[in-house]
Structure 1
Amino acid sequence: MDRRRFLTAAGTVAAAGLSGCLADLGRLYTSNEPPVLSNRPDEVYVPTHTEGMQMVGTADAGDLRVGVFYSYAHRFWVIDDESDGFQTTKIPHTADDDIHLMVSAWDPETGVAVPDTGLSVELTRDGDLVSEDVVYAMLSQRMGFHYGSNFGLDGDGTYEVTVDVGAPSLNLFGDVAGKFDSPASTTLEFDYSEAERNEITYELLDETNGELDAVEPMTMGAVPLGVAPDSLPGTPLGTAMTGGLRLAGTVVSADRFGDDPYLAVSPRTPYNRLVVPRMGLSATVSADGDTQFDGGLEPGLDPELGFHYGTPVSGLDGVPERQATVTVDVPPQIARHEGYETAFLEFDPVRLG
């Protein structure tokens, strides 16, 4: 039941004079999320609920375009390097949190989402600082890769949100080569009211939560999601699953990658092909049984490949039998919304080709 249906049902059994109490009850309902599932699988799963969001707006920041949104404050998980391996730790929302603020960044000319820019947000009201923070790089089933965190506000009113973006640590190819090389900033203004926030949809998924699946990403209009290509250019090496992550490989021969064939590995979620950045990958590449490369892959961005990890490898041209054994050396260093927090932590090497 979403929040509007909840309030409608409550209103049918309450007197009109209790409308203020019902508004408080509705706020209590949306701020108290369903309990975390006790039997979560160590894979991608359907979360307990979904939320809509309110768009603040879009604006250019240097070569990038950013979109800013907000929804209800909610829990998320950050990744920690513990003595026994990487684990996720829940960050609950508090009574001081009013919204979960989200920012996406992309190249407006190609429509390619740009992860790993480094991004911070400052909220002001009437020139006074309300909140300033480096937001988390995050992954959610509804929005894909974005930056976000919970923020407290100072009541209803008009706010300014300033977004600072850095230069992404990526190899850039094709129509994005030479872009995003300088930090930039932009400011958007928006009117906030608790009542309007409480109109954002909220749906419980009682019948499907915990299943090995994912909810559909939301449609965001002019804001592109970070979705990996269904079909990669070049000579495909196939796909493989490890740690709940799907890896797709290809070898591309094109001038923009240099003189040698270019090995590209595209990491994506298993159900909706959402790109998964901020990880460490290495590969051993062989051609006709001879090792041609053994080392780390570098993060890259290309309009046709999207976000990927890759390296040039000599000796692959004209060779019919090409294989790559790919190892995830460092799991994705991103915060996770519910449904991803138990996945993408432990990996076995996989073979492509």
Structure 2
Amino acid sequence: MDRRQVLAGAAAGLAVGAAGCVDSFTSLDGVSYGREPALVADRPDAIYYPTHTEEMATGGMAMTDDGLAVSVSYTFPHRFWRVFNRDGGYEAEQFGVESDDAVHIMANIWDAETGVVLPVSSVDIAARGGNNVDERETVYAMLSQRMGFHYGDNYHLDGDDTYTVDITIGATTARRFGDFDGRFGDPQTVTIDLDYSEATRNELTYETYEDRQGEPGALDPMSMEMDGMSMPTGRVRELDGTALGTGLADDIRYAAAVLTADRFGDAPYLAVTAATRYNELVIPSMGLAGTLTDSDGEAVVDSASLEPALDPELGFHYGTPVPDATGEETATVDVTTPPQVARHEGYETAFFETPTVELS
């Protein structure tokens, strides 16, 4: 696991309640690292209620020259899962809390005007301060039931101090439409001065869910605000144009439409959204292919690759031009690569089946 040396800001916490609290940290020296309950023994191959949630402390916020809002928050260090391709199959591998982890850092990035999250960039965090901390690392794109899409990782701290943090958002890899065309194409860096207090971290609370943990379902996303601005969790948006239907498979909810607005070009545009079954949070980093079949059973387009895209109205989605589409076709979606995004507890066992989904 890549080591991270970084800071965290101490400010007002985003409370999630203290019922069923787990003991908080007492010291970085000799502490029993991590305060998480044991995982549910028989987790379903689906989205499920996690064992607990953690209070978060908000850190700081800044704006890029390109109109992106960037916020930083933190909580206790905790386990998460990354996806790997091994022996021809995909699986989630748990990354636990290590002895020098002090916090889990989370960065939210979104377009300030439209609230569209940016799930298609690399994000680096460089921290300077403390006892000669001066390090840059790349954090992981993540899905959380409470935070939705964000970037994060566990980090080492070096005591209480004010740290200078440079957050660099890499150029987006997604196709962009409308007012997003020509934006987000260059790396953007913001600097946030953040105070970290071990005492503030120690006061963060847990809430456990003994009565629901391991059952199919999901917690509601939290309402988050910083500096008077609401932070979006990345809920999927409704598609304009001619709807082709919806479908549900492997706890992913799909919707598709054919759009002919000028911003999508001369050809009709096939747009597909992929979201979590519960709360409809965007799922990035998938490989998707779409097929449109006319009333005679002939393929108007067969297994066309659907590329990640950003649009001020549609938000994040997958799409491709289809010159002969009319919106009267039957649509199917194939998962060519399961979501590569890292997962918080409750998502790590889902999204690994790859059925063909016919929308209706």
Structure 1 outlier segments of 4+, above 3 Å: 1-7, 21-25, 27-30
* Aligned residue number for residue 305 of structure 1: 314
- Aligned partner of 2:173 in structure 1 is 169
Deviations 1:91-146 (A, max 9, x none): 00112100000111111122211111111111211693254311111111011111
Cα pair 2:21 2:205 within 8 Å, conserved: no
Aligned residue for 1:39? 42
Return the offset for 1:232: 2.1
One-letter amino acid of the structure 2 residue matched with residue 198 of structure 1: N
In the TM superposition, 1:328-347 aligns within 5 A as 328-347=335-354
Match of 2:236 among 214, 218, 228: 228
User: Which structure has the greater CA radius of gyration?
Assistant: 1
Match of 2:7 in 1: none
Question: Do 2:102 and 2:156's aligned partners in 1 also have CA atoms closer than 8 Å?
Answer: yes
- Displacement after TM superposition at 1:243 (Å): 2.1
Aligned CA distance change for structure 1 residues 264 and 325 (closer, same or farther; 3 Å): same
- Structure 1 unaligned spans of 5+: 11-20
Match of 2:192 in 1: 188
Instruction: State the one-letter code of the partner of 1:311.
Output: T
Question: Are residues 1:53 and 2:61 paired?
Answer: no
Q: Given residue 41 of structure 2, which amino acid in structure 1 is its aligned partner?
A: S
Identity of aligned residues (%): 46
Match of 2:202 in 1: 198
Which structure shows the higher helix fraction?
1
Superimposed CA distance per residue, residues 149-202 of structure 1 (whole angstroms, 9 cap, x where no aligned partner): 000101112112210111110111112111111111111111111111122231
Q: Deviations over 1:218-253 (max 9, x none)?
A: 111222221102x32112122112222111111112
Task: Give the number of aligned pairs.
Answer: 337
The answer as to whether partners of 1:62 and 1:180 remain within 8 angstroms in 2 is: no
Q: Provide the alpha-carbon RMSD of the alignment.
A: 2.3
CA displacement at 1:43 relative to structure 2: 0.3
- The amino acid across from 1:100 in the alignment is H
Q: Does 1:67 align with 2:71?
A: yes
Give the Cα–Cα distance (whole angstroms) in 2 for the partners of residues 350 and 303 of structure 1. Answer: 27
Partner in structure 1 of residue 267 of structure 2: 260
Instruction: Tell me the residue number matched to 1:13.
Output: none
Task: Tell me how far 1:290 sits from its aligned partner.
Answer: 2.4
Matched residue, 1:16:
none
**Is the contact made by 2:81 and 2:92 (CA closer than 8 Å) also made in structure 1?**
yes
- What is the identity, as a one-letter code, of the residue corresponding to 2:299? T
Residues 1-353 of structure 1 mapped to structure 2, 5 A cutoff: 6=21, 23=26, 31-63=34-66, 64-125=68-129, 128-221=132-225, 222-229=230-237, 231-288=238-295, 289-294=297-302, 295-317=304-326, 321-353=328-360
- Tell me if the contact between 2:142 and 2:152 (Cα under 8 Å) persists in the aligned partners: yes
What are the ranges of 5 or more consecutive residues in structure 2 without an aligned counterpart?
A: 1-15
Deviation, 1:48, is 0.2
Q: CA deviation at 1:276?
A: 0.4
